[in-house]
A and B are shown apart, each in its own frame.
Chain A
Amino acid sequence: MAVQSSFKNMVLSLMVICFVSSALLAVVYVVTKAPIEAASAAKTNNAIAQVVPEFDGTPEKARIGVAGTDYIYYKVSKGGSVVGYAVMASATGFGGPVSLMVGITADGVIYNTSVLSQSETPGLGAKCTDPAFADQFRNFNPAEKVLKVKKDGGDIDAITASTITSRAYANAVQTAVDVFKAITSGEQPDAASGASVSAAHTENDNNGGHSNE
């Protein structure tokens, strides 16, 4: 079956195999690059569309620094006026970070939330994606209610046996609310806000004009 091993043919055959494999990979990489980017853009766009009221055009991507951390948010508008913000925020849960997309309408009420990624225990903390828990944050007004689990004196019903995850979820939403306050106070300099604004600059959205109606 196999040929006799000599130093020359060992090096040569390995080199040929490495070269062919790399070339093949490069080809597939180039071919799948656009679909991969489209898939990840579609994921972000879906998450945004899920958490903010109806809008037109493309969500405007921007960054803002609040209390030393950089946050990404998307501004969406309809007919020229801003209808809401989708803020990406995360907090430490039980099995790792719980990352959320939190939609907040222009008047400061949470419109909806969506989980971007989490590694909580299946059947316990992972239930934070269930509507039974997540729908508590729909139309939640942080000005009237407290974004904490009931155990900590707030208004959120924790998931059974998963207080840490529920707490992380509430914390992430609270972070998003703080970011929202910083954004709005940055755009209307006379509005008072506790959060410190270090930088708020808009950058071009790079998802190539995918509109998501």
Chain B
Amino acid sequence: MEYLIIIISAIFVNNILLAQFLGCCPFLGVSNKLSTAVGMSGAVCFVITLATLVTYLLQYYVLVPLHIEFMQTISFILVIAALVQMVEIVLKKVSPSLYQALGIFLPLITTNCAVLGVALIVVTKEFTFGGEPHMLNLAESVVYAFATSVGFGVAMILFAGLREQLALNKVPKAFQGIPIALITASILALAFMGFSGLV
């Protein structure tokens, strides 16, 4: 039950793109085509879940025991950068077809603030899922990270679908490109606000 609340909350109510504004660069940058949006979402989903697992362990088994929590930002970003490289290498060897689909997005993910953002959120923010405010445990963190990245995918794919339609319409010159995309995103965010209060 508690996990269900985490999942619904992370996908719809506190959608990472439309409510928390994390990962907006790929949201606006690679949402021109539905196919690239799907690829990006898949890669982000994979990396966020894995990165959160690793940084959670790093935080509680290395940084906290050594009292060097102040190295959090620097160590998290290094771990994420290394992880992305490793995923790229492993994927290339193990599954060339998956690498073809996700490969070009992987280098971009290091500087996707959604990854570092989620990793930092789970170790700094108190959550109130199912009762008293508490820090997330390992299982909850991973579920939260996965659900958040699914939320990223949902918003991304919906948005890419809208933009594909939009490309067929005539838009005033000054609005072409990013401005009309932002206004579309605004309407999408408005729709997602309807979910607030659900959990």
Contacts and interface: CB of A to CB of B under 8 A. Distances in A.
- Chain B at the A interface: mostly helix, strand, loop or mixed? loop
A57 interface: no
Contact of B128 (A21, A69, A92, A121): A92
A111 interface: no
A21 B126 CA distance: 30
B110 to A, nearest CB: 16
Contact of A29 (B70, B125, B127, B131): B70
A96 B74 contact: no
Nearest to B78: A18
Contacts of B196: 94, 121
Main secondary structure of the interface of A (DSSP, over half): mixed
B172 interface: no
Nearest to A68: B132
A67 to B, nearest CB: 11
Contact of B126 (A22, A97, A121, A164): A97
Interface in B148-199: 196-197
A25 B197 contact: no
B71 interface: yes
B133 interface: yes
Interface string B65-93: 00000110010000000000000000000
Contact of B125 (A21, A69, A90, A96): A96
Nearest to B125: A96
Contacts of B125: 96
Contact of A25 (B70, B127, B131): B70
Contacts of B133: 90, 92, 96-97
Interface in B118-136: 125-128, 131-133
Give 9 nearest A-B pairs by CB, closest first. Answer: A97-B133, A92-B128, A29-B70, A97-B126, A97-B128, A96-B128, A90-B133, A92-B133, A25-B70
24 contacts: A21-B74, A22-B71, A25-B70, A25-B71, A25-B74, A29-B70, A69-B132, A90-B133, A92-B128, A92-B131, A92-B132, A92-B133, A94-B196, A94-B197, A96-B125, A96-B126, A96-B127, A96-B128, A96-B133, A97-B126, A97-B128, A97-B133, A121-B196, A164-B197
